[in-house]
């Protein structure tokens, strides 16, 4: 989901070891240039999905019931 919205992976680095370190500590960035046009609800959903503690991370079913998804299904699709 992070990649779909931003076009970038949440965890980046110069090599695999740096990427894995960032994953372990949950260090990611939502820079203003990329994420400025993304809704607050979408960012909140992504942050919950990237929670380090798997016991605190929402299940897919819970995520699909999130405000961001609920509101998205009510909006008409813009054909442009």
pLDDT band at 36 (very low <50, low <70, confident <90, very high): very high
Domain assignment of residue 18, yes or no: yes
**How many angstroms separate the Cα of 54 from the Cα of each of 13, 34, 40?**
23, 27, 23
Cα(44)–Cα(24) distance, integer angstroms: 20
Asked if residue 45 lies in contact with residue 63, where contact means CB atoms within 8 angstroms, the answer is yes
Q: What is the mean pLDDT of residues 14-28?
A: 93
For residue 4, the model assigns a pLDDT of: 92
How many distinct structural domains can be found in the chain? 1
Within 10 angstroms of residue 45's Cβ, the number of other Cβ atoms is 20
pLDDT band at 78 (very low <50, low <70, confident <90, very high): low
| Average pLDDT of the chain to the nearest whole number | 88
Note down the domain range covering 20: 2-72
Asked if residue 2 lies in contact with residue 9, where contact means CB atoms within 8 angstroms, the answer is yes
For residue 55, the model assigns a pLDDT of: 92
Q: Where are the alpha helices (DSSP H) in 26-73?
A: 32-35, 40-49, 60-64, 67-72
Percent of the chain with pLDDT over 70: 90
Domain assignment of residue 78, yes or no: no
């Amino acid at each position: 989901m992070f990649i779909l919205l931003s076009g970038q992976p949440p965890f980046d680095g110069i090599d695999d070891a740096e990427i894995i370190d960032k994953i372990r500590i949950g260090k990611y960035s939502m820079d203003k240039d990329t994420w400025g046009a993304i809704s607050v609800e979408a960012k909140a959903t992504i942050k919950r999905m990237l929670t380090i503690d798997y016991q605190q991370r929402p299940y897919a079913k819970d995520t699909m019931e999130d405000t961001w998804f609920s509101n998205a299904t009510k909006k008409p699709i813009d054909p442009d």
